[in-house]
């Protein structure tokens, strides 16, 4: 099963506080089916410094979002779209945009 969302993809967040946010996928967690999206689903973590030279305070970081809550933004038509798969003549699987039919990979 090929991945619908890959690192480096541009995606739109469909639910939650960051709904409508468009950003790049920084990291994918295949087991959890979650992805880190740049600038989306920001959570604040309070850090206490354990060492002298470590800064303490509030750190903002992205929390992973379930892949089912993300939509790929097609690089061909620029629309958030569902992803389909197509087997090419050489047997490789490519992702296709369900809106414009363009190959994404």
Identified binder of Zn ion from the candidate list 11, 28, 40, 74, rule CB under 5 A: 74
Q: Is 97 in the site for Zn ion (CB under 5 A)?
A: yes
Judged by CB under 5 A, the number of residues near Zn ion is 7
Window 27 to 66, contacts with Zn ion (CB under 5 A): none
CA 77, CA 90: separation in Å to the nearest integer? 26
Identified binder of Zn ion from the candidate list 77, 85, 88, 93, rule CB under 5 A: 77
Report the candidate in 89, 88, 84 with the shortest Cα–Cα distance to residue 100. Answer: 84
Enclosing H/E stretch for 84: strand 83-87
Sign of CA dihedral 72, 37, 5, 68: negative
Q: Is 83 in the site for Zn ion (CB under 5 A)?
A: no
Q: Is 94 in the site for Zn ion (CB under 5 A)?
A: no
Q: Is 99 in the site for Zn ion (CB under 5 A)?
A: yes
């Amino acid at each position: 099963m090929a991945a619908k969302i890959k690192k480096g993809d541009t995606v739109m967040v469909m639910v939650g506080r960051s709904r409508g946010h468009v950003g790049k996928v920084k990291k994918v967690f295949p087991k959890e089916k979650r992805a880190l999206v740049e600038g989306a689903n920001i959570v604040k973590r309070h850090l206490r410094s354990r060492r002298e030279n470590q800064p303490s305070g509030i750190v903002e970081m992205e929390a992973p979002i379930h892949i089912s809550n993300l939509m790929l933004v097609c690089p061909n038509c620029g629309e958030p779209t569902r992803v389909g798969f197509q087997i090419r003549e050489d047997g490789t699987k490519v992702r296709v945009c369900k809106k414009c039919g363009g190959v994404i990979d």
